[in-house]
Structure 1
Amino acid sequence: MNIDQITQPFIDMFPGDFSGNPMQRNTPKVLFSTVNPVGFDNPKLVAFNQKFSEEIGLGKFQESDINFLAATNLFEKIKTYATAYAGHQFGNWAGQLGDGRAILAGEITNESGKKNEIQWKGAGATPYSRHADGRAVLRSSVREYLMSEAMHHLGIPTTRALSLAFTGESVVRDIMYSGDPQEEKGAVIIRTAESFLRFGHFELMSAQKEINTLIDLTDFTIENYFKDIKPEGEQKYQAFFTEVCKRTADLMVEWFRVGFVHGVMNTDNMSILGLTIDYGPYSMMDEYDLNFTPNTTDLPGRRYAFGKQGQISQWNLWQLANALFPLIKDEKFLEETLNNYGNYFWEAHDTMLCRKFGFDELKKDDEEFFTNWQALMQELQLDYTLFFNQLEKLDENSDIKHLFSSVSYGFLDESKTQKLEHFISSYESRLRENKISKKESLDLMKKTNPKFILRNYLLYECIEEINNGKTEMLEKLTKALENPYEEIFPELSIKRPSGYDDVSGCSMLSCSS
Structure 2
Amino acid sequence: WLGALRFDNLALRSLPVDASEEAGPRAVPGACFSRVRPSPVQNPRLVAMSLPALALLGLEAPADGREAAAEAEAALYFSGNRLLAGSDPAAHCYCGHQFGSFAGQLGDGAAMYLGEVLGPQGERWELQLKGAGITPFSRQADGRKVLRSSIREFLCSEAMFHLGIPTTRAGTCVTSDSKVVRDIFYDGNPKTERCTLVLRIASTFIRFGSFEIFKPPDEYTGRKGPSVNRNDIRIQMLDYVISTFYPEIQEAYSDNSVQRNAAFFTEITKRTARLVAEWQCVGFCHGVLNTDNMSIVGLTIDYGPFGFMDRYDPEHICNGSDNTGRYAYNKQPQVCKWNLGKLAEALVPELPLEISELILEEDYDAEFQKHYLQKMRKKLGLIQLELEDDSKLVSELLETMHLTGGDFTNIFYLLSSFSVEFDPSKLEDFLEKLTSQCASVEELKVAFKPQMDPRQLSMMLMLAQSNPQLFALIGTKANINKELERIEQFSKLQQLTAADLLSRNKGHWEEWLEKYR
Q: Is the 8 A contact 1:6 1:105 kept in 2?
A: no
- Deviations 1:331-361, CA, capped at 9 Å, x for gaps: 1452343343112211221222222222235
Q: Which residue of 1 aligns with 2:406?
A: 382
Q: Which amino acid aligns with 1:373?
A: L
Give distance in 1, aligned partners of 2:190 and 2:345: 40
1:174 aligned onto 2:198: no
Give the one of 253, 260, 263 matched to 2:287.
263
- Tell me if the contact between 2:286 and 2:303 (Cα under 8 Å) persists in the aligned partners: yes
* Inter-CA distance 358–238: structure 2 relative to 1 (3 Å threshold): same
Instruction: Give secondary structure in 2 for the equivalent of 1:2.
Output: helix
Question: Which residue of 504, 509, 514 maps to 1:415?
Answer: 504
Matches within 5 A, 1:35-74: 35-59=36-60, 60=62, 61=70, 63-74=72-83
**Cα offset, 1:4, TM superposition:** 5.8
Determine the structure 2 residue equivalent to 1:398.
Answer: 427
Secondary structure of the 1:38 match is: coil
Q: Partner residue of 2:494?
A: none
Matched with 1:310 is 333
What is the CA–CA distance in structure 2 between the aligned matches of 1:254 and 1:44, rounded to whole Å?
35
1:29 corresponds to which residue?
30
Match of 1:209 in 2: 229
- The alpha carbon displacement at 1:188 in A equals 0.9
The aligned runs of 1:286-435 (5 Å cut-off) are: 286-299=310-323, 301-360=324-383, 361-395=385-419, 396=422, 397-399=426-428, 400-410=430-440, 412-428=501-517
Higher radius of gyration, 1 or 2: 2
SS at match of 1:297: coil
Distance 1:20 1:58, change over 3 A: farther
Query: Quick one: distance in 1 between partners of 2:358 and 2:415?
Result: 41
Match of 1:273 among 297, 322, 345: 297
Q: Distance in 1 between matches of 2:51 and 2:373?
A: 38
* Residue of structure 1 in register with 2:148 after alignment: 139
Distance 1:56 1:76 in 2: 15
Residue deviations 1:274-319 (CA, integer Å, cap 9, x gap): 00101111111111111001100112x1111111111111010000
TM-score by length of 1: 0.80
Q: Which runs of 5+ in 1 are unaligned?
A: 429-513
Deviates most, 235-244 or 415-424: 415-424
| Residue identity opposite 1:248 in structure 2 | T
Aligned to 1:117: 126
Q: Deviations over 1:79-110 (max 9, x none)?
A: 21100001100111111110011011100001
User: How big is each residue's C-alpha offset from its partner over 1:444-472, in whole Å with a ceiling of 9 and x where there is no partner?
Assistant: xxxxxxxxxxxxxxxxxxxxxxxxxxxxx
What's the % identity of the aligned pairs? 38
Q: CA deviation at 1:27?
A: 0.7
Give the drift of 1:57: 2.2
- What is the CA distance between 1:405 and its match in structure 2? 1.9
Mapped contact 1:162–1:191 kept (Cα < 8 A):
yes
Take 1:62 and 1:380, find their aligned partners in 2: how far apart are those partners?
48
Q: Would the aligned equivalents of 1:351 and 1:362 in 2 still touch at CA under 8 Å?
A: no
| Count of paired positions | 427
* Residues 13-54 of structure 1 deviation map (CA, whole Å, 9 limit, x = unaligned): 222224333411111111111111111231111112234323
Counterparts of 1:168 and 1:123, CA distance in 2: 14
Per-residue deviation at 1:249? 0.7
Q: Is the 8 A contact 1:158 1:277 kept in 2?
A: yes
Q: Give the whole-Å Cα distance in 2 for the aligned partners of 1:64 and 1:252.
A: 37
1:228 paired to 2:262: no
CA distance in 1, matches of 2:85, 2:164: 37
What amino acid is the match of 1:286? D
Deviations 1:128-167 (A, max 9, x none): 1111000010000001111111111111111111111112
In structure 2, the CA distance between the partners of 1:76 and 1:131, relative to structure 1 (3 Å rule), is farther
* Alignment match, 1:473: none
- The residue identity in structure 2 corresponding to 1:152 is F
Q: Does 1:90 align with 2:99?
A: yes
**Pair 1:246 & 2:270 matched:** yes
Task: Give deviations 1:141-198, integer Å, cap 9, x for gaps.
Answer: 0011111111111111111111111122111111233322211122111111010010
Query: For the residues of structure 2 that align with 1:183 and 1:3, how far apart are their CA atoms?
Result: 37
Quote how far apart the aligned CAs of 1:330 are: 5.0
Contact 2:99 2:326 in 1 (8 A): yes
Question: For the residues of structure 2 that align with 1:105 and 1:423, how far apart are their CA atoms?
Answer: 52
Q: Secondary structure of the equivalent of 2:427?
A: coil
- 1:84 and 1:98 in contact (8 A); partners too: yes
1:193 matched to 2:207: no
Distance in 1 between residues matched to 2:22 and 2:83, nearest whole Å: 17
RMSD: 1.8
Aligned to 1:148: 157
Structure-2-length-normalised TM-score:
0.79
Question: What letter corresponds to residue 404 of structure 1 in structure 2?
Answer: L
On the 8 A contact 2:291/2:339 being kept in 1, the answer is: yes
| Contact 1:257–1:353 under 8 Å retained in 2 | yes
| Residue number in structure 2 paired with 1:474 | none
Q: Aligned partner of 1:309: which letter? A: Q
Distance 1:366 1:186, change over 3 A: same
User: Greater shift after overlay, 193-202 or 386-395?
Assistant: 386-395
Partner Cα separation in structure 1 for residue 418 and residue 393 of structure 2: 18
Q: Measure how far apart 1:266 and its partner are.
A: 0.5
Between 1 and 2, higher relative CO (CA 8 Å, sep ≥ 6) is seen in 1
Matched, 1:161 2:170: yes
Distance in 1, matches of 2:281 and 2:340, equals: 21
What SS does the aligned partner of 1:186 have? Answer: strand
Specify the code of the residue in structure 2 equivalent to 1:160.
R
Listed as ranges, the gaps of 5+ residues in structure 2 are 63-69, 217-227, 441-497
1:13 pairs with 2:14? yes
CA distance change for structure 1 residues 66 and 392 in 2, over 3 Å: closer, same or farther? closer
Contact 2:5/2:118 (8 A) holds in 1: no
Q: Which amino acid aligns with 1:408?
A: C
Aligned residue identity for 1:215: I
Deviation at 1:78, TM superposition (A): 3.1
